[in-house]
Amino acid sequence: MGNPLRILHVVVNMNRGGAETLIMNLYRNMDRSKIQFDFLTSKEGVFDNEILKLGGQIHRIPYISDVGHFAYKKHLDGFFRENATYKVVHAHMDKMSGLVLQSAKKAGIPKRISHSHNTQSEGGLASRIYKWYAGTLIMSNATNLLACSRQAAQWLFKDKTKNVNILKNGIEYKLFSFSSETRGKVRKELNIESDACVLGHVGRFAQQKNHSLLIDIFADFIREKENSYLILVGEGPLKPEILTKVKAHKLENKVKFLGVRSDINRILQAFDVFVFPSLHEGLPVSLIEAQAAGLPCLISDQISKEVDLGINLIQFLPITNSSLWSSHLMKITSSNTNRSIQPDSLSKQGYSINETADELKNFYISMTG
């Protein structure tokens, strides 16, 4: 047996975001005798210890927002010069991948993957203009293109979508199967009555996730259904703003902020409906997980239709007014939902992590073979 092929994944940090969670799911299920993951990051992350335990290496350079464009490029160039033995660089930074792949190409790294996980850039005007510039460097520097959905491919790679491989956001779906016992336990931990109605959301407190509308929806809903709670899982820059809005609506006792959790599979059991009014998304892992848990999902019509696994759990709504959402929620929560789904419904759609990890392994091997 030769040494495994080492793939360098480039991310800002390895925290519990959608793309990072997917990378870790892939890493845990990868045949590590053949493929080993290393990481180039700019900040510490919650998965760092696990990466080291699995045999990965973590390299760190300062991020562009801390040191500016020229210093960041200098760090990237220097890093790839010193680590030019990598055969494959896999960049997960959407438009910012352009800068990474440009440096990797300059250092002579033969295979350079750009992976689209989104359908829009975040940040203010200056930030978006800069990302646009970085994005223009992708096509001339990437040798391979990956995306989590057709829509994500369209956004980052424009008219080159026929050259894109779609890698589905697979999950360990058996971990999410509904359990009424877990539901009872989690509700007890969170001081929620067993007959209360629970709306839930998992996602960063960032513009894209549209928490502000989510609070308006809940404020409408709870007027109709008093014995209700909203559970919010995640952290992020807009959390203080959302806390303020919750106080303004006098909902402090009804909205629970759980922070970042490593046990999403348990938490989902306590929800009755997953509410997801995002402004844009690639293909959210959290929505695949919610369907694996048999949860009805009320989601924004801005999200790729590919997220619907065809098991009658997804309803799309326009993000125009909160009362439309709350009346739909009333309908969903008044009907009795059976939370058990066909065990193979996710693998049939290609969302089993074992299959995704296998597909990615073969992709890497065919690139370098």
How far apart CA 152 and CA 282 sit, in angstroms, is 5
> In the structure encoding, which two tokens stand for residue 245, read together?
């809005």
pTM higher than 0.85, yes or no?
yes
Share of the chain above pLDDT 90, in %: 84
Q: How far apart are CA 230 and CA 222, in angstroms?
A: 10
Please check the confidence at residue 145 and state whether its pLDDT lies above 90.
Answer: yes
pLDDT at 18 over 90: no
Average of per-residue pLDDT across 90-118: 97
Question: How confident is residue 336, by pLDDT bands cut at 50, 70 and 90?
Answer: confident
> Which tokens sit at 310?
């065809």
pLDDT score recorded for residue 77: 98
The pLDDT tens digits for 240-292 are: 999 999 999 999 999 999 999 999 999 999 999 999 999 999 889 999 999 99
**177-185: long-range contacts (C-beta < 8 A, 24 or more apart)?**
177/292, 177/293, 177/294, 177/340, 177/343, 178/269, 178/293, 178/294, 178/339, 178/340, 178/341, 179/269, 182/266, 182/269, 183/269, 183/270, 185/266
Q: What is the pLDDT of residue 1?
A: 54
Q: What is the pLDDT of residue 292?
A: 94
How far is it, in rounded angstroms, from Cα 148 to Cα 167? Answer: 5
Residue range 125-148: average pLDDT? 94
Per residue in 170-216, pLDDT (tens digit) is 999 999 999 999 999 999 999 999 999 999 999 999 999 999 999 99
Provide the pLDDT for residue 369.
76
Amino acid 254: pLDDT: 98
Residue ranges of domains in the chain? 5-170+352-368, 173-348
Query: Residue 5: which H helix or E strand, with range?
Result: strand 5-10
DSSP letter assigned to residue 3: P
State percent of the chain over pLDDT 70. 99
- The set of long-range contacts for 190-197, using a CB threshold of 8 Å and a minimum separation of 24, is 190/231, 190/256, 190/258, 190/270, 192/229, 192/256, 192/270, 193/227, 195/227, 196/227, 196/228, 196/229, 197/225, 197/227, 197/228, 197/229, 197/272, 197/333
In this structure, the number of other CB atoms found within 10 A of the CB of residue 45 comes to 21
Residue 17: the pLDDT is: 83
Instruction: Return the higher-pLDDT residue of 122 and 217.
Output: 217
Rg (CA), the chain: 21
Residue 299: burial class (beta carbons within 10 Å; 0-12, 13-18, 19+): buried
Give the confidence band of 75 by pLDDT, cuts at 50, 70, 90: very high
Please count the other Cβ atoms lying within 10 Å of the Cβ belonging to residue 365. 12
Q: Are 203 and 57 in contact (CB under 8 A)?
A: no
Residue 68 main-chain phi, psi, to 5 deg: 85, 165
Does domain 173-348 correspond to CATH entry 3.10.20.70? no
In whole numbers, what is the pLDDT of the chain averaged over residues?
A: 94
Go through the chain and tell me how many residues it has.
Answer: 369
Query: pLDDT-derived band of residue 121, with 50, 70 and 90 as boundaries?
Result: confident
Predicted local confidence at residue 342, as pLDDT: 79
pLDDT-derived band at 346, boundaries 50, 70, 90? confident
Superfamily of domain 5-170+352-368: Glycogen Phosphorylase B; (3.40.50.2000)
> How much is the pLDDT for 253?
97
